[in-house]
Structure 1
Amino acid sequence: MIEVRRLRVLRALADHGTVTAAAEVLHLTPSAVSQQLAALESEVGQELLERRGRRVAITSAGRLLLAHADTILAEVERAEDAMRLHANGVNGEVRITAFATAITLLVAPALTRLRETTPGLSLVVRDAEGHQGITQLLDGDADLAIAVEHRGSPRPDDRRLARIPLYAEPFVAVLPPTHPAATPPDLPTSPADGRADSAFAAGRPAAAPIELAALADDDWVMPTPGNPIRDVVMLACEQFGFQPRIVHQSDDFRAIAALVAAGAGVSLVPRLAVPEPTLALIRPLPDPAPTRRVYAAVRASRADHPLITATLDVLTEVAEKL
């Protein structure tokens, strides 16, 4: 008989790569993880792991077992949900992870709406960067994640997840007020003092886009390594034939806009993440502009849970207004 808890240990090892990392996620000691895996090998009568120095690799038998483990664990979670619903109806908690902009634009308005439509639902919100929420979701530390599509995202055919597109937004250029490319030659000026049109100076996009190549020689303010926004910006710059000279780094868009406004460099920021008001100048990019694609994800085993479907319905409604 295969112990379900040992399948969870094998899945954690596959997801995180080392016994130590799996132990941390499972709140066990590394020796306890090793013991559970050894017991699992005894249960199935085959080697599931190959030791390679300090790391372990999963054998073909282990990968075969993992394919069944995902189905088994999903069914166990469905059974647990069914029992909870039987015990307390539709009252319960949904834990959401989302990045800061999504919390502001999506989660907070959805929370207000859900108080009216689903009074038995209690939302617990946790701030997590777009690449961290999926990890927390798969580890069981969250029930729903709002994430950003990027090169490290799970594949669309990952059977562990159900994904729901929410919205897509173009990136805009964020420039210091004195940047030579900030004011296009045909921008209207004030007859009184010759200054650039006040609407543009207030930070709203001008009609004329700015070519990304015009920023190739500037210093840049960039999100930190690992942030999916950085990946999108770096790829966009590479497509225009240059590597941005990164001088300052921050994952806070307000901090990025403040640094740019102070003349520290230029940046690209998703349009809806631009703080208001800002002293930095905002310019659109020519089509096709880099785009941030935001989606919601839940574990496939819980995709039909009433409280999660109610939350997703409201999140989708709010996203449509964006």
Structure 2
Amino acid sequence: MSDNFNYKHLHYFWVVATEGSIARAAEKLFITPQTISGQLSMLEERIGQPLFDRIGRRLRLTETGRLVLRYADDIFALGKELNDVLRGAPIVGTSEFIVSAASALPKTIVYKVLEPALSVSNDISLTCREGPVEAILGELAVHEVDMVLTDTPLSSAFSIKAYNHYLGQSTLSFFASPNLAAKLHGDFPACLQDAPMLLPTKQYAIRQLFDRWCTDNSIFPVVRGQYDDSALMKSFGKAGFGVFFMPSIIEEEVKDGFGLQVIGRSKTLKQKFYAISSERKVTHPAVAAICNAARDKIFK
């Protein structure tokens, strides 16, 4: 067996063994069964022996599998105990605080929300990742991150033991390049009818709200692009490919930074923001600082 033991592979094995099937493990970890199967195969290859006997669709632990499971039980029980202890402990020395943000969130807002975490202590080291909602919630499920920042609250559809912490909300401003703005007809929001539109992908809550808002107002723009990344969407908007929206609390930054015009604002269409963590009651000092600053200052 290689000395470079992969504990993520071990964790996938442990969840499969405790849940009894790859399908149930995939639901709990919020990743595809194919991903888990691939990781299990890599672990078995690294160990050099099979961990399961596959009997039809059923899995049965081999003798080696039972041995590995006993060690995995101890490893992850100890890891949970360490995590619980550190959650309630004061910060001593450099403490890494890992956050995953939904990639469709404007980077300016992500910065504004996370900046207070660095004010808690000079010893906090912030690591910020980004990705699609499903992927970053999967990271939270396996304790790879301390917090997820998103506009899509955790629901029962996600088999993850974590909790929503509401940060605040913002109305939306709609932007277009000067050339495109000159071609739009009528007042807002009627000017969006048949207008080229750049939108977040449908995995994000604000996209779903926008689609309903269009239907309720009998407005049907032409979708020219859908993006997981807000920065990429703004770049296409700057080039004049379509109208796009951003939270009004960063209206000036978007307008001035990209040379765009504000063609209208919606007071009824609002984007909400959430911090999601494994804590029901926030005790992590960095998460507490983020929640307090967002509610008292950023979104006030």
**Shorter chain as normaliser: what TM range?**
0.5 to 0.7
Aligned to 1:103: 110
Q: Secondary structure at the match of 2:119?
A: helix
Q: What is the aligned counterpart of 1:19 among 16, 23, 33?
A: 33
Using the TM superposition, give the Cα deviation of residue 228 of structure 1 relative to its aligned residue in structure 2, in angstroms.
4.4
**Counterparts in 2 of 1:1-322, with a 5 A limit?**
8-9=15-16, 10=19, 12-14=25-27, 15-16=29-30, 18-23=32-37, 27-29=39-41, 32=44, 51=57, 78-82=80-84, 90-91=92-93, 92-99=95-102, 100-107=107-114, 109-114=115-120, 118-149=121-152, 153-155=154-156, 160-175=161-176, 176-181=180-185, 210-211=188-189, 213-224=190-201, 226-272=203-249, 274=251, 275-277=254-256, 278-289=258-269, 291-300=270-279, 309-319=284-294, 320-322=296-298
- Partners of 1:86 and 1:164 lie apart in 2 by 18
1:110–1:314: 8 Å Cα contact kept in structure 2? Answer: yes
Using the TM superposition, give the Cα deviation of residue 90 of structure 1 relative to its aligned residue in structure 2, in angstroms.
4.4
Q: Kindly name which structure, 1 or 2, has the bigger radius of gyration based on alpha carbons.
A: 1
Identity in percent:
15
- Partners of 1:22 and 1:141 lie apart in 2 by 16
- Partners of 1:31 and 1:113 lie apart in 2 by 41
1:168–1:292: 8 Å Cα contact kept in structure 2? Answer: yes
- Partners of 2:184 and 2:88 lie apart in 1 by 65
Q: Note the aligned Cα RMSD (angstroms).
A: 4.2
Q: Deviations over 1:201-252 (max 9, x none)?
A: xxxxxxxxx22x4312112122345454433332322332354311234444
Q: Deviations over 1:278-302 (max 9, x none)?
A: 332214434422x2111111124xx
C-alpha change, 1:75 and 1:174, in structure 2 (3 Å) is same
Aligned to 1:191: none
1:253–1:273: 8 Å Cα contact kept in structure 2? Answer: no
Q: Secondary structure at the match of 2:164?
A: strand
- Partners of 2:167 and 2:89 lie apart in 1 by 33
- Partners of 1:81 and 1:293 lie apart in 2 by 29
2:255–2:261: 8 Å Cα contact kept in structure 1? Answer: no
Q: Deviations over 1:270-319 (max 9, x none)?
A: 22454241332214434422x2111111124xx5685xx20112102321
- Partners of 2:134 and 2:13 lie apart in 1 by 27
Using the TM superposition, give the Cα deviation of residue 168 of structure 1 relative to its aligned residue in structure 2, in angstroms.
0.8
Q: Deviations over 1:107-162 (max 9, x none)?
A: 1x224312xxx344332221234554222211332121111126xx4339977012
C-alpha change, 1:282 and 1:98, in structure 2 (3 Å) is same
